[in-house]
Amino acid sequence: MDQTQHETPTVLVVEDDKDLADTYELWLDPEYEVRTAYSGADGLALYDSSVDVVLLDRCIPDLSGLDVLRSMSTRDINDQKAMLTAVDPGHELVDLPCDDYVTKPVSKSTLRETVQELQVRTRLDDDIQRHFALTSKIVALEQSDADGVDPAIEKLRRDASQIRARIDDRLSELDGYDSAFLALE
C-alpha cells in the first residue's frame, strides 16, 4: 500500500530513555499511530513500509542511532527521518541520511511541528516526481514534429496543473516553518 493512502500517519519513535519515548508518544497521540522502540534493534524490527516518519535518538546504547539510520536508509521505504538528540550537529551531518536534525530538549510544539512538516514532505515526493515526469513529456511533445500531439499536450498540461496545485497547497502548509529548503527560493 502506498503510504499516502494511510488514514493515520505512522510515526516510529526510537529512543532508549523510556520516559522520554513515552512522552513523545503521548504528545503525538491520537493524531498519529505511534510505534515506540526503546532500543536500536527494536526500532529496526518495527520499521517497515507503513512508517511515515521516524524520530530517532542519536545515542542509543545497544546500536548507535547512526547505525540504525544508515540501516533504515538502505531499505526502499518512502519516509522521513529526524534525529532527535542532545548531540550538537557537526560536519558529519552532511552525510547523514536524515531529513531533519533536532537538538534536545524538544518541546511538545517543536516535536509536533517537526512531525507535521516531515509528514507533509512524505506526501510531496511522489507528486513532485510525477510533475517532473509530466513536464518532461510536455517538452518532448512540444519539440516533436509529429501530427496530432496537441490534445496529448493539453492533457499533460491539465494533469501537471492539477499536480502543481496539490504541490502548492502542501507547500502552503509549510508556511511559518523555518525550513532550509524554503529559504533557498
Evaluate the CA torsion angle 161, 163, 169, 171 in order and state its sign: negative
Whether the model pTM is above 0.75: no
Each residue's pLDDT tens digit, 8-22: 899 999 999 999 999
Is residue 12 domain-shared with residue 98, that is, in the same domain?
A: yes
Give the range of the structural domain holding residue 63, as residue numbers without chain letter: 3-111
Are 174 and 146 found together in one domain? yes
Same domain, 135 and 91: no
Q: What share of the chain is helix, strand, coil (3-state, %, to 5)?
A: 55, 15, 35
- pLDDT tens, 30-54? 999 999 999 999 999 999 999 999 9
